[in-house]
């Protein structure tokens, strides 16, 4: 397959319909300062402009009965904030193709019931939404809770893109879920990891691509999703948008 190249699409990108449209003088804004997310996008052929969102991420977990809606809602707020900020700023004369924002959380896993009496009750128990630890003590608490067990990593991705009708943009969102299994680690190893500080800036308090990989036995699902960006699902999502949404990548 031939490659596509311009300032957004890197030379090694596959020539799919979405990448072909992106190469037509479009812009991709990543509403995050995460170097991990930028590097994952570059690995698959997109070189985004970085404009971190100023949204304060103050949404309440309790407002979302379905916990999977929370990271999608946060990602949507980030995408809209950046898109609206750039569209009205005179210093940005070119059309903004899309503002893409992401939010990753970790959900504590509810263990299956061990007796017929408890069968089905676990489905009524709300998992804890784990974001970045507030302290080393909080980091250790999270790791102790997941140790020898598993957690679910959920990433919400929202894309804001221009359309001709009010309010001038549309939002499309997706989420991806992966299961991370932790080894039965000695507490001394967990304490050493927490003391290192790597997990303090990570949802769930660990970085699977770093020293935190020592704590993990396996991952079910997209490994990139656990790192912070669900690459495979996102690029399939873009192809669906190109095929099904007439306005997607069509308005300059």
Q: Is the peptide bond before 167 cis (omega within 30 degrees of 0)?
A: yes
- On whether the CB atoms of residues 179 and 188 are closer than 8 A, the answer is no
Catalytic position from the list 63, 103, 145, 201: 103
Question: Known catalytic residue: 103?
Answer: yes
Q: What is the CA radius of gyration of the chain?
A: 20
Pick the closest to residue 206 from 143, 145, 149, 144 (CA basis): 143
* CA–CA separation, 42 and 34 (whole Å): 13
Please give the Cα distance from 37 to 15 (Å, whole number).
Answer: 22
Asked if 31 and 81 touch (Cβ cutoff 8 Å), the reply is yes
**Residues 29 and 96: beta-carbon distance below 8 Å:** yes
Catalytic residues: 103
């Amino acid at each position: 397959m031939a490659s596509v190249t311009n300032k957004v699409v890197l030379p090694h990108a596959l020539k799919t319909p979405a990448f072909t449209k992106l190469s037509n003088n479009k812009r991709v804004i990543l509403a995050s300062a995460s170097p991990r997310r930028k590097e994952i996008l570059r690995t698959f052929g997109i070189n985004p402009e970085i404009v971190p969102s100023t949204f304060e991420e103050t949404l309440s977990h309790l407002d979302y009965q379905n916990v999977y809606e929370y990271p999608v809602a946060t990602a949507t707020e980030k995408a809209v904030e950046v898109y609206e900020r750039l569209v009205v700023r005179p210093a940005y004369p070119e059309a903004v193709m899309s503002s893409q924002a992401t939010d990753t959380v970790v959900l504590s896993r509810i263990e299956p019931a061990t007796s017929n009496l408890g069968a089905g009750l676990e489905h009524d128990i709300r998992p804890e939404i784990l974001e970045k630890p507030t302290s080393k003590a909080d980091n250790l608490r999270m790791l102790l809770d997941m140790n020898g067990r598993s957690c679910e990593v959920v990433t919400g991705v929202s894309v804001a893109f221009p359309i001709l009708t009010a309010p001038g943009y549309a939002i499309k969102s997706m989420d991806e879920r992966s299961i991370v299994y932790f080894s039965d680690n000695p507490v001394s190893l967990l304490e050493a990891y927490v003391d290192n500080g790597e997990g303090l800036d990570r949802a769930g308090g660990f970085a699977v691509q770093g020293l935190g990989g020592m704590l993990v036995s396996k991952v079910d699902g997209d490994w990139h999703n656990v790192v912070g960006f669900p690459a495979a699902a996102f690029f399939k999502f873009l192809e669906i948008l190109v095929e099904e949404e007439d306005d997607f990548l069509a308005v300059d």
